[in-house]
């Protein structure tokens, strides 16, 4: 059986998004190609790169056939490229035409609970599984409602300084039906869609010989119940949030002559925002902002929950280890880091920087495990690859929530060889990293 001798990683310009083509070259001159995520929430202004151009390059590089597609989680910035076009010529149609043999996704995308998966108490699995998925659906709906409201003329106070951030996170969390459907069917038979969770056995030897693929995340509900920091995602909470967000997004709630909350009030007993008595104005302005801040808080919370559904894959080929954690954040990592799989991380050779360089997607306790970190002269020095665009996600520059987090970027630069899509020139498609596996 052939052995892999090289790994080539192409990190495409996605603006804020991820798209990596991982190609293994074998000693019999054959190759295997794995596409890990393909999505963007917006390209840099000056780039000439488009999703179509990237799709075309992927087709070219893989010689017209993909072996595996990995969609780490359902965020737009990871799957929007899989959407098909009405004319059959969308970037997702191109990928579909490459006939991937397998599609790998987290268990949260499965139609039914996969084999071996366990609910919080290890028993009521079907119920818990369905409840969790309906939470995710409700989260999409909250995001949708928030974006709808941003679109409405008087939905949010236009002077609110965080409106762009809310729209960005909101849009990233809207359900991307076309991409989801395409992922469900592009590998042909349903059995070719594999839904993974921490510690599950992923046997890809038939299509990816002599490469071991470890699944470090996401944890199942049973596993995540054992770590208390796991994001609270009570089903009932998200159902309520969905109803409230939808209510707040309807035109009538502010446009009606009468109050929806107190329908018996005469219109003369209410004051529209524009006609408030003087003594109410100062605090009313602040209540508006407080409401908007909370919507941002809610959307940020659901964004985190979705990020924590990310598949974390560790490819072991020849003497090397390549780590692709999607957007996994601390809660997802926590389980992997306290499991007996954590030791696998010690000699990672390539690390795809989690969640576009946000602070809590590269937990200190993980980063510290990487033994190959070090100054430029370090032999076999760790390589890191990051796909990001500053100023889109998270807090303002300098805030701990900025993405990418500048102190983290500095550390990546100091202690690893960093490949950053932000450094690509406007005409450049991707960063290319080659790793000798021998």
Partner 1 sequence: MTEIQPVRKLTIIAKDPGLRIGNDGPMVFAQVDVPAEILAPGPTGYRIKVVDYNATERRAYAARQSYQSGDILLDPFAPIEGEALTDRDYQVRVIGNPNFHAQNCYAIAMRTLGLFERALGRRVSWSSGGHQLHIVPHAFALANAFYSEPDRALMFGYFFDEEGKPIFTSLSHDVVAHETTHAVLDGLRSRYTEASGPDQAAFHEGFADIVAILSIFSLPEVVAAGLGITDKLPGVGEPLAFITEDKVTPAAIRDSILLGIGAEIGMATGAGRGALRQSVKLEPRPDILNDPDMAEAHSRGEVVVAAMAGAFVKMWTTRISHLGTFDGLGYNMTAVIEEGAKAAAQLLQMSIRAIDYCPPTDLDFGQFLAGLLTADRELVPDDSRFGYRELVRQSFGDFGIVPPPGQTDGDGCWPHFAASDALRYSRSNAEALTRDVDECFRFLWENRDALNITERGYTQVLSLDASLRIDPDGIPFRETICQYVQMGHFFGSELMAICKIDPLPEGFTTRTSADLFGGGVVVFDQYGRVKYHIGNGLIDGERQKRRLEYLRDNGQLRAQGGDERSRFANLHLARMGG
Interface residues toward partner 1, by CB under 8 A: 154, 228-229, 232, 234, 236-237, 240-241, 243-244, 247-248, 253-254, 259-262, 264-265, 268-273, 276-277, 279-280, 283-284, 286-288, 290-294, 297-298, 301, 359-360, 364, 399-400
Report the partner that residue 290 touches, choosing among partner 1, Zn ion, none (CB closer than 5 to 8 A by kind): partner 1
Instruction: Report the residue number, 24 or 195, with the smaller CB distance to Zn ion.
Output: 195
Residue 75 lies near Zn ion (rule: CB under 5 A): yes
Please tell me whether residue 139 adopts helix, strand or coil conformation: helix
Instruction: Report the residue number, 293 or 423, with the smaller CB distance to partner 1.
Output: 293
Residue from 11, 32, 77, 357 in contact with Zn ion (CB under 5 A): 77
Residue 431 lies near Zn ion (rule: CB under 5 A): no
Report the partner that residue 75 touches, choosing among Zn ion, partner 1, none (CB closer than 5 to 8 A by kind): Zn ion
β-strands 68-70, 383-386: how paired? unpaired
Instruction: Report the residue number, 33 or 74, with the smaller CB distance to Zn ion.
Output: 74
Instruction: For residues 40 and 61, give the distance between their C-alpha atoms in angstroms, rounded to a whole number.
Output: 20
Residue 140 lies near Zn ion (rule: CB under 5 A): no
For the CB of residue 73, give the shortest distance to Zn ion in the complex, in Å.
6
Instruction: Report the residue number, 6 or 292, with the smaller CB distance to partner 1.
Output: 292
Q: By CB under 5 A, which span of 223-231, 239-247, 262-270, 321-329 interacts with Zn ion?
A: 321-329
Instruction: For residues 203 and 221, give the distance between their C-alpha atoms in angstroms, rounded to a whole number.
Output: 23
Report the partner that residue 307 touches, choosing among partner 1, Zn ion, none (CB closer than 5 to 8 A by kind): Zn ion
Residue 102 lies near Zn ion (rule: CB under 5 A): no
Determine contact, residues 364/354, Cβ cutoff 8 Å: no
Instruction: For residues 198 and 211, give the distance between their C-alpha atoms in angstroms, rounded to a whole number.
Output: 18
For the CB of residue 432, give the shortest distance to partner 1 in the complex, in Å.
35
Q: By CB under 5 A, which span of 40-48, 242-250, 319-327, 373-381 interacts with Zn ion?
A: 319-327
Instruction: Report the residue number, 275 or 425, with the smaller CB distance to partner 1.
Output: 275
Instruction: Report the residue number, 75 or 149, with the smaller CB distance to Zn ion.
Output: 75
Contact flags string 213-252 toward Zn ion, x per CB under 5 A? ----------------------------------------
- Cα atoms found within 13 Å of the Cα of residue 75, Cβ hemisphere only: 32
Report the partner that residue 288 touches, choosing among Zn ion, partner 1, none (CB closer than 5 to 8 A by kind): partner 1
Rounded (10°) angle between helices 163-172 and 278-307:
30
For the CB of residue 355, give the shortest distance to Zn ion in the complex, in Å.
6
Residue 165 lies near Zn ion (rule: CB under 5 A): no
Instruction: For residues 141 and 299, give the distance between their C-alpha atoms in angstroms, rounded to a whole number.
Output: 11
Instruction: For residues 378 and 112, give the distance between their C-alpha atoms in angstroms, rounded to a whole number.
Output: 47
Residue 327 lies near Zn ion (rule: CB under 5 A): yes
Residue 307 lies near Zn ion (rule: CB under 5 A): yes
Q: By CB under 5 A, which span of 46-54, 70-78, 91-99, 155-163 interacts with Zn ion?
A: 70-78
Phi, psi of 217 (to 5 degrees): -160, 165
Report the partner that residue 269 touches, choosing among Zn ion, partner 1, none (CB closer than 5 to 8 A by kind): partner 1
For the CB of residue 260, give the shortest distance to partner 1 in the complex, in Å.
7
Place of tokens 């209510």: 247
Q: What long-range pairs does 269-278 form, CB within 8 A, spacing at least 24?
A: 273/154
For the CB of residue 162, give the shortest distance to Zn ion in the complex, in Å.
19
Q: Record the tokens describing residue 226, joined without a space.
A: 């054992």
Instruction: Report the residue number, 156 or 195, with the smaller CB distance to partner 1.
Output: 156
Instruction: Report the residue number, 228 or 425, with the smaller CB distance to partner 1.
Output: 228
Q: Record the tokens describing residue 116, joined without a space.
A: 């071996």
For the CB of residue 173, give the shortest distance to Zn ion in the complex, in Å.
9
Determine contact, residues 173/165, Cβ cutoff 8 Å: no
- Residue 123 vs residues 12, 119, 221, 249: alpha-carbon distances, Å: 43, 6, 11, 38
Instruction: For residues 144 and 20, give the distance between their C-alpha atoms in angstroms, rounded to a whole number.
Output: 28
Instruction: For residues 413 and 390, give the distance between their C-alpha atoms in angstroms, rounded to a whole number.
Output: 16
Instruction: For residues 220 and 121, give the distance between their C-alpha atoms in angstroms, rounded to a whole number.
Output: 11
Instruction: For residues 302 and 133, give the distance between their C-alpha atoms in angstroms, rounded to a whole number.
Output: 13
Please tell me whether residue 23 adopts helix, strand or coil conformation: strand
To 5 degrees, how large is the angle CA 57–CA 59–CA 61? 65
β-strands 430-436, 4-12: how paired? antiparallel
Instruction: Report the residue number, 75 or 392, with the smaller CB distance to Zn ion.
Output: 75
Point out which residues bind Zn ion (CB under 5 A): 75, 77, 307, 327
């Amino acid at each position: 059986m052939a052995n892999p001798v090289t790994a080539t990683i192409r990190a495409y310009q996605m603006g804020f998004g991820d798209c990596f083509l991982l190609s293994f070259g074998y000693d019999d001159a054959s190759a295997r190609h794995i596409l890990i995520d393909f999505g963007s929430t917006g390209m840099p202004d000056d780039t000439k790169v488009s999703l179509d151009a990237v799709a075309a390059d992927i087709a070219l590089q893989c010689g017209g056939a993909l072996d595996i597609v990995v969609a780490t989680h359902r965020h737009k910035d990871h799957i929007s490229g899989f959407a098909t076009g009405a004319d059959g010529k969308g970037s997702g149609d191109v990928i579909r035409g490459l006939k991937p043999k397998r599609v790998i996704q987290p268990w949260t995308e499965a139609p039914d609970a996969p084999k071996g998966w366990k609910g919080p108490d290890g028993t009521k699995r079907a119920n818990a599984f369905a409840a969790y998925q309906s939470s995710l659906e409700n989260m999409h709906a909250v995001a949708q409602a928030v974006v709808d409201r941003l679109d409405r003329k008087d939905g949010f106070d236009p002077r609110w300084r965080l409106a762009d951030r809310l729209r960005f996170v909101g849009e990233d969390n809207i359900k991307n039906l076309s991409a989801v459907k395409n992922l469900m069917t592009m590998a042909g038979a349903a059995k070719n869609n594999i839904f993974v969770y921490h510690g599950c056995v992923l046997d890809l030897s038939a299509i990816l010989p002599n490469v071991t693929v470890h699944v470090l995340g996401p944890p199942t509900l049973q596993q995540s119940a054992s770590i208390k920091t796991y994001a609270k995602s009570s089903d009932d909470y998200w159902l309520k949030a969905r109803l409230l967000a939808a209510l707040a997004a309807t035109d009538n709630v502010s446009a009606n002559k009468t109050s929806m909350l107190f329908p018996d009030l005469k219109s003369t007993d209410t004051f529209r925002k524009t006609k408030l008595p003087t003594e109410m104005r100062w605090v009313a302005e602040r209540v508006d902002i407080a409401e908007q801040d909370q919507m941002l808080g809610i959307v940020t919370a659901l964004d985190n929950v979705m990020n924590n559904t990310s598949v974390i894959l560790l490819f072991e080929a020849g003497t090397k280890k390549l780590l692709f954690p999607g957007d996994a954040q601390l809660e997802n990592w926590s389980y992997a880091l306290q499991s007996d799989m954590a030791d696998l991380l010690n000699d990672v050779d390539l690390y795809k920087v989690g969640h576009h360089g946000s602070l809590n997607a590269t937990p200190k306790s993980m980063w510290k495990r990487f033994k190959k970190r070090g100054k430029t002269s370090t032999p076999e020095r760790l390589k890191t690859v990051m796909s990001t665009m500053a100023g889109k996600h998270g807090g303002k520059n300098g805030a701990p929530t900025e993405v990418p987090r500048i102190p983290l970027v500095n550390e990546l630069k100091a202690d690893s060889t960093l490949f950053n899509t932000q450094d690509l020139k406007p005409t450049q498609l991707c960063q290319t990293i080659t790793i000798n596996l021998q």
